Structures are given as structure tokens and as C-alpha cells.
Amino acid sequence: MTKTELVQELARELEISRDSAIQVVDTMVGCIISALEKGEAVKLSPLGVFTPIIRKASHRKTPQGAHIQVPPRRAIRYRPGISLRTILHST
């Protein structure tokens, strides 16, 4: 599902205008991003939990055989909720 499809579905389900649905989606995404930037986990039941993490620095080998150091970086870990996992495994 794309953002456009989500907006259309929200507008239809909630009987609101397309512009209002866009505003709802944009606001929700903005709130999630803001919380993750602050280092806070975002729990959306039954969807799951988005947790910001810091990946440690590591050493890698390129396909040419050269050794490089990868610096630490921020990433997001997603863990699906139990309800979502149950739904997906039952289909």
C-alpha cells in the first residue's frame, strides 16, 4: 500500500476529504519521525514497535578485498506486534 492508497482508504473509511486525510497521514508520520529522532520507541498496537538503535562501528571487506571501517550509525529496528504476526501467519 502506498501513501496515496492509504490516503484514499482513510478518506473513504472516515468520510473526510482527501486533503484532510493527507493532513492526518502527514501529521502521523511527522510525529513518528519526531519521536524516533528523540530516541523514543514508537508503539503502535497492533502494528508493532519501532525502536531507534545505534549500530556499532565495524570492519568490513569490500568485494575487491580491501578492508574498510564502517562508522557507527543510527538505524530503526521494527518488531511486529503479536496480533499482526498472528494475522500474517494464519493466511
* pLDDT for 90: 85
Closest CA to 44 of 78, 6, 76, 10: 78
* pLDDT for 4: 95
pLDDT averaged per 10 residues, the chain (length 91): 96 96 96 96 94 95 94 95 89 69
Locate all alpha helices (DSSP H) within 1-91, ordered by sequence: 3-14, 18-37, 82-90
Q: How many CB atoms lie within 10 A of CB 50?
A: 18
Residue 76 CA to residue 58 CA, distance in Å, equals 18
E strand or H helix at 40, and its extent? Answer: none
Vertex 57 angle, CA 55 and 63, to 5°: 105
* pLDDT for 55: 95
Q: In the chain, what are the domains?
A: 3-90 (4.10.520.10)
